[in-house]
Chain A
Amino acid sequence: MAIDPLSNARSERRWAFAMVGAAMMMLFAIVWASLSPHMNPPSNIENVDPNTLHIAGEFTEDNLGTQVDAKGRVTTRIVTSQFSFAPECVVVPQDMQVTFRFVSPDVIHGLLVVGTNINTMVVPGYVSQVHTMFDKPGDMLMPCHEFCGLGHSQMVAHVRVVPIADFKPDENGRVACAEH
């Protein structure tokens, strides 16, 4: 009898179990993705002083862009500031592990690479680090996605993914976009 309070509570309890079950299914899929194919938000608590990063250390001007180290690891360093990326174009190899490292000397910026899972905030005081791998070549857009002042709309960069055969580091291990 539907108007019996007990049966009422029973139908609600059944619904509640089904809903918690549905939520658990999604949770399971998310946790699996984070553990097995390593699809996580970028979390890397690493500090850098925003006021001195351009003077000394890893993020001085001639260290920016893509560099291959002695062990063959590819790292791309980018400084985001009002209202541009430095450099505005970076080259990365296809099908290889790439590590991006972003810093900001002024205010909060953020970025994504269109069509990929690369997305991070760039918070002054921190190094934002993203590991990824690109599976097809091409020029990809990398806009700033956090309001950083009145010039925010102009803040756009490009990521150029090239096949490994075309990825040729110079004697210092650096690779840069050709001038055009």
Chain B
Amino acid sequence: MNNPADTDPDITDPTLAAHLDEAPSGAFALAGIAVALLLVAWAIIYLFVFLPRGPVG
């Protein structure tokens, strides 16, 4: 299951540096899109279901 090649604790900093110079741009993009969609979905319910259902309290 655990391939020793990937879990090598001795990944040295130069190797990391060579691979990770773009990180975490991908996480910003993916998580950013997910959260933006979440806010949009929330706003749709707020504007098009909640407010039209009228005052209450």
Task: Count chain A CB atoms within 10 A of each CB in B21, B23, B39, B56 and give the residue with the most.
Answer: B56
CB pair A134 B53 closer than 8 Å: no
Determine the distance from Cα of A42 to Cα of B16 in the docked complex, in whole angstroms: 56
Determine the distance from Cα of A131 to Cα of B56 in the docked complex, in whole angstroms: 5
CB pair B31 A15 closer than 8 Å: yes
Comparing A18-26, A48-56, A148-156, the segment that makes contact with chain B is A18-26
Task: Please report the number of residue pairs spanning A and B whose Cβ atoms sit closer than 8 angstroms.
Answer: 69
Comparing A74-82, A103-111, A112-120, the segment that makes contact with chain B is A112-120
| CB-defined contacts of B23 to chain A, threshold 8 Å | 2
Write the residues of chain B forming the contact surface with A, with a CB cutoff of 8 angstroms.
Answer: 13, 16-17, 20-24, 28, 31-32, 35, 39, 42-43, 46, 50-51, 53-57
| CB-defined contacts of B22 to chain A, threshold 8 Å | 2
CB pair B57 A116 closer than 8 Å: no
Query: Of B32, B51, B54, which contacts A116 at CB under 8 A?
Result: B54
Query: Of B16, B39, B46, B51, which contacts A22 at CB under 8 A?
Result: B39
Q: How many of A's residues come within 8 Å of B, CB to CB?
A: 31
CB pair A133 B54 closer than 8 Å: yes
CB pair A116 B39 closer than 8 Å: no
| CB-defined contacts of A19 to chain B, threshold 8 Å | 35
Determine the distance from Cα of A2 to Cα of B15 in the docked complex, in whole angstroms: 12
Write the residues of chain A forming the contact surface with B, with a CB cutoff of 8 angstroms.
Answer: 1-3, 11, 15, 18-19, 22, 25-26, 29, 33-34, 37-43, 115-119, 130-135
27 pairs, A vs B, C-beta closer than 8 Å: A1-B21, A2-B20, A2-B23, A2-B24, A3-B13, A15-B31, A25-B39, A26-B42, A29-B46, A33-B46, A34-B57, A37-B51, A38-B56, A39-B51, A39-B56, A39-B57, A40-B57, A41-B57, A116-B54, A117-B53, A119-B56, A130-B56, A131-B57, A133-B54, A133-B55, A134-B54, A135-B54
Determine the distance from Cα of A119 to Cα of B56 in the docked complex, in whole angstroms: 9
| CB-defined contacts of A116 to chain B, threshold 8 Å | 53-54, 56
CB pair A22 B35 closer than 8 Å: yes
